[in-house]
Structure 1
Amino acid sequence: MDDLRFRPVAEKDLVLFQRLRTDPEFWGPGWPGFDDPGQPARRLASDGYFSESNSWLVAERGPDAVALLNWRTSSIGAPRLSWEIGIVVVPERRGQGIGWRAQAMLCDYLFDHGPVQRIQAGTRVENIAEQKSLVKAGFQLEGRVRAAEFADGEWRDGLLYSRLRTDPAPDLS
């Protein structure tokens, strides 16, 4: 039985959000560079990491935070009817099946708690692990997005995946 579960962001998680802004290994490929390490505390104090356009949850397994999940307004579709999701799995926990399960669970959560019809996620063309994770989480490849991201000094293509409310949910067991 998988004991992966979600909870709201708490003060103890601020170190993880600070690592996102200061540690390229924590972010993974495509790190956007250093950013304000004080912003996570201000965000937690201002809205608890929940807003109309950009929200976060923490995935836990046992007592440990193992991933940070985000959903934000998508550039495709009507607000709150279409979300784009993202995930950062803690580096020490990568390769353990956390990513696909957490993304599938986040889709289920969003479908259960709002009228959303479409959830999309993008990834780099060379990120094979995330591509496999998205497919396992019930997403379908829609296509290549040219010059989707500026990272490592150049424009890079990405891949766009989506899961619709009417798509079958993956088996989480």
Structure 2
Amino acid sequence: MSGERDIAYVVEPGRIATATADGPPAVRFPYDASALVAEPLRTERLVLRPLEASDAADVYEYQRLPEVIRYLPWPERDRAEGYEHTAKRAAGRALAADGDSVFFAAVLPGTPATDDPTRDRVIGDFMIRVSSVRHAQLELGWVLHPEFQGRGFAREAAQAVLDFTFETLNPHRVQAFLDARNGASAALCERLGMRREATILEEEYNDGEWQDTAIYGVLRREWAAARG
């Protein structure tokens, strides 16, 4: 036997024509997020600017919590390790190649930082990572301090970052990879208009067990239609 198989493909009516109309990949790279230091993204209640090493104290307040790292590929870190990790993530400002990432600090004006009452507090951070330049695919990720969950902050910030991603960087597709147990992030993906496309069974071994990964995604034309 040659190993070749006859495979029947089922194509949704009109999908090929619609996808073709989207055109070839046209992501707008390179992009330098340093411009967002002076002109950050703003929502009704939040300021979203590039993460800075000086945000480490606020970040560590949620980075150290077991209920947060349960759903993230983060090991337990002591304070020094946490500060070093934040500095490393803050150093990423350019998007140009696969694997590049930028992190937005979600700042809540009027709430003092944990280490400096003259600064506003960082209550979470939101990521844009390059999955594939060739295929114009970007990834979103987020983490929010549990103290500020359930108040719409995650949706507010994630929507702003998603809109910025499509409007400024022009990807064909934006996706998110979640610990499949993370119901809150799954619900957020759906509120952002992302569909659950797959579940990878037992993809990673963390916390003494095999864990599933859920994949969510949205195409540029779907985002545009939803945003009117």
Shorter chain as denominator, the TM-score bin is 0.7 to 0.9
Larger radius of gyration: 2
Alpha-carbon separation, structure 2, partners of 1:134 and 1:69: 13
Please give the secondary structure, in 2, of the residue aligned with 1:96: coil
1:60 to 98, 103, 107: 107
TM-score by structure 2 length? 0.63
Structure 1 residue identity aligned to 2:55: D
Structure 2 residue identity aligned to 1:51: A
How much has 1:94 moved relative to structure 2?
A: 0.9
Q: What is aligned with 1:150?
A: 205
Structure 2 residue identity aligned to 1:87: W
Which runs of 5 or more residues in structure 1 are unaligned?
A: none
Alpha-carbon separation, structure 2, partners of 1:128 and 1:85: 16
How much has 1:27 moved relative to structure 2?
A: 3.1
Structure 1 segment 1-173 matched on structure 2, within 5 A: 2-19=44-61, 22-30=64-72, 32-35=74-77, 36-40=81-85, 42-43=87-88, 48-52=91-95, 53-63=100-110, 64-74=121-131, 77-78=132-133, 81-168=136-223
CA gap 1:33/1:168 in 2 versus in 1, 3 angstroms: closer
TM-score by structure 1 length? 0.80
| Equivalent pair of 2:59/2:123 in contact (CA under 8 Å) | no
Percent pairwise identity: 22
Q: What's the RMSD between the two structures over aligned residues?
A: 2.7
Q: Where has structure 1 moved over 6 Å in runs of 4 or more? A: none
Alpha-carbon separation, structure 2, partners of 1:140 and 1:86: 15
| Equivalent pair of 1:121/1:161 in contact (CA under 8 Å) | yes
How many residues end up aligned between the 2 structures?
167
| Equivalent pair of 1:119/1:163 in contact (CA under 8 Å) | yes
Which runs of 5 or more residues in structure 2 are unaligned?
A: 1-42, 111-120
